[in-house]
Amino acid sequence: MHRNFFWFEQQIKQLQNRALSSRVLSAFTLRKNEMILELEKAGEQILLHISMDVRFPYLLEGTARRFRQPKFQLFENVNGQVIRGMDIIPYDKHVRIELDDFLLEIFFYGANPNIHLFDKQGRRMASFKQRPADFPAEPETVRFDFRTIEADKLAELCKQESKQKWAFALKRQFYALSGSLYKELLFRSGLQADTLLEAISGAQLSQIAQTFKQAGQECASGRAFLYYKQEVILAASLLELTHLNTQPDVRMESYDLVNKAWWKFISLAQNHAKAEHVRTLCRNGLEKRQRYLERSLQKLQEAEDIRARKELAELKGNLLLTFQNDIQPGVSRVSLKNIFSEQAESIEIKLNPAKSVIENATHYFNKYKQMDKQKEVAEIRKTTLKTELNRIFAIQKELESARPEKVNALYKRLIGMKIVQDITSPSATEKGDLQFAFKRVILEEDWDIYIGKNGANNDLLTFEFAHKWDLWLHAQGVPGSHVIIHLPGKNTQPPRRVIERAAAIAASNSKARFSSSVPVMVSEVRFVSRIRKALPGTVNVRNEEVLFVEPLHLN
């Protein structure tokens, strides 16, 4: 409705009493797409805010105030000029403000809305936006004004366009209807949208003409109405929208002046637009992360047949040893009967011709020697990915139902999660979101393991994020990552196997990652302290236990 001609027309009528005979003190801009005319009348200062934003065009009266921002002066020729006239081109959002010696032409429509200053001879003196003077074309000839339509004109339309549907005719044959006004007139007409014009009776046409005239009188009353749905601005109107009044989740506010309603509408609509832009950023970031997690899970799923592949490799090794005397040296492939199966099916086995049968058998035995460890790593990764994916699904659901004021909070949360933007500084991040500043894995679905990335990140993990009762792990005697087992409470302890796995992860994130056995310190965070003037991540540890573990490489 903020784009609707009738809304602009009513605003101009209300502004005329205030603006006519006022003197222009200055014209300036403080922000993109908005020009302000500073006026003075009978000792009172008035501000006219004129927006060229294609999404939110407006012509609003504001109260005088001091501006902290620097002003950029415009149209200095108009300073001291008196406003002699103000009108709007019928059925068009083209406003003209007549001054003593100049004419301000305001085009709120077209591809390039703009404000132009002309002298009395019609020469363009200046423009608000520095672009060619591509004046919009004049609007097409108006067929019908719903406010003054007569029944005989409606009958003529029905005769000429008899096969046309009523909704289509209303939208096309009545000029300057906004979406909400079109829906209201359709509702008040009492006709179905798909009613053919030839099926409308004369009595119905008379009733429609009377109904439309009544709606026009309501539009001219000077009042305005705002409609909300679940506290989100839904529509602005010059008349009550009876088609919305029947909806239980819609509420209405009424105003005695269009200007008051317009200020409120613009403020709420702009906030809503900003929130929807942020919502889109969040939605895109979440969907991108979701796709990555689902692809990663798919790859893990495809690798889950590793045990079957190991069993087949061991079978091939055993068959090679069983039939080694029957295999000719130098061959690259053999087919052997599976004597370990009742079906005695043939098994195709690839061989390295340069190696003996026993060497080829040993190759098959060793092929999946690390299978158990690989499976353990895969399970840890799968649990971690599934947990994060479920968290993403929960946030997506929360995002779609969030009201505009909650969207920014979600946006900040996603910044912390590195989904829409990298963390800029720890101080700018809520402690609850610091968890996303570290590498993280989940063991047995219940235990969150956090891994520092470098010295500064280690300090952040241990001294800013971790609770004092969390378990702290670090490879003994070598540089490496701080590792935290996050505990839900100080009286909760993880199983021994979880601590040993976390120790193996700490070993793999240290300079001793390639050793077969690594000593790892385990203590509570409260027993870990910084060393003055030492490098970031350097600490003193007390009351530690030392575990000897084999590194568990997750990457």
The yes-or-no verdict on residue 257 having pLDDT over 60 is yes
Q: Give the chain's mean pLDDT.
A: 88
Residue 64: pLDDT over 80: no
Q: What share of the chain in percent tops pLDDT 70?
A: 92
Give the up-direction half-sphere exposure of residue 490: CA atoms within 13 A in the CB hemisphere: 6
DSSP code of residue 460? I
Cα–Cα distance, 129 to 434 (Å, whole number): 45
**pLDDT tens per residue across span 311-368:** 888 899 999 999 999 999 999 999 999 998 888 899 999 999 999 999 999 988 887 7
Model confidence over 123-175: pLDDT tens digits?
999 999 876 556 666 555 557 999 999 999 999 999 999 999 999 999 989 98
CB distance 273 to 266 below 8 Å: no
Of 187 and 406, more confident? 187
pLDDT surpassing 80 at residue 67: no
- Spatial neighbors of 1 by CB under 8 A, at least 6 apart, are 7, 178, 179, 180, 181, 235, 236, 237, 265
Q: Read off the pLDDT of each residue in 548-553 and give the average, rounded to a whole number.
A: 91
Nearest by Cα to 58 from 18, 93, 85, 103: 93
Q: Where are the domains of the chain?
A: 5-127, 151-256, 292-422, 433-555
Closest-CA residue to 414 (of 403, 390, 400, 430): 430
Number of Cα atoms under 13 Å in the Cβ half of residue 245:
11
Q: Cα–chain-centroid distance for residue 183?
A: 30
| 423 pLDDT higher than 50 | no
pLDDT band at 111 (very low <50, low <70, confident <90, very high): confident
Q: What angle do CA 512, 444, 496 make, to 5 degrees?
A: 60
Separation CA 469–CA 490 (nearest Å) = 5
444: left (phi over 0), alpha (psi -120 to 50) or beta: left
**In whole angstroms, what separates CA 222 from the centre of its chain?**
38
Question: CA-to-CA distance for 508 and 439, rounded, in angstroms?
Answer: 13
- Dist CA 106 CA 450 (whole Å): 60
Torsion angle defined by CA atoms of residues 476, 480, 481 and 483, in that order, rounded to the nearest 10 degrees: -20
Residue 381 in this model has a pLDDT that exceeds 90: no
Structure confidence by residue, pLDDT tens digits, 278-298: 999 999 999 999 999 998 888
Question: Phi and psi dihedrals of 244, rounded to 5?
Answer: -95, -25
Would you place residue 500 in the very low, low, confident or very high pLDDT band (cuts 50, 70, 90)?
Answer: very high
Stronger pLDDT, 445 or 268, i.e. the higher one: 268
Q: Which amino acid is at 224?
A: A
Domain spanning 151-256: CATH 1.10.287: no
424-435 pLDDT, tens digit per residue, is 444 444 555 566
Residue 262: how many other CB atoms lie within 10 Å:
25
Let me know: does 169 contact 161? Beta carbons within 8 Å.
yes
User: b/e for 53-88, b at 16 or more Cβ within 10 A?
Assistant: eeebbbbbbeeeeeeeeeeeebbebbeebebeebeb
Q: Which residues pair with 546 in a beta bridge?
A: 521
pLDDT number for residue 446: 83
pLDDT the model gives residue 231: 79
Q: What is the pLDDT of residue 372?
A: 65
Per-residue confidence at 417, pLDDT binned at 50, 70, 90?
Answer: confident
The DSSP element (H or E) to which 313 belongs, if any, is: helix 306-322
Confidence band, pLDDT 50/70/90 cuts, at residue 396:
very high
Structure confidence at residue 131 (pLDDT): 65
Question: Quick check: 447 pLDDT over 60?
Answer: yes
C-alpha separations of 145 from 149, 192, 440 in Å: 6, 21, 66
Q: Would you give the DSSP letter of residue 508?
A: H
- Domain 5-127 fold: ibrinogen binding protein from staphylococcus aureus fold (2.30.310)
pLDDT at 494 over 70: yes
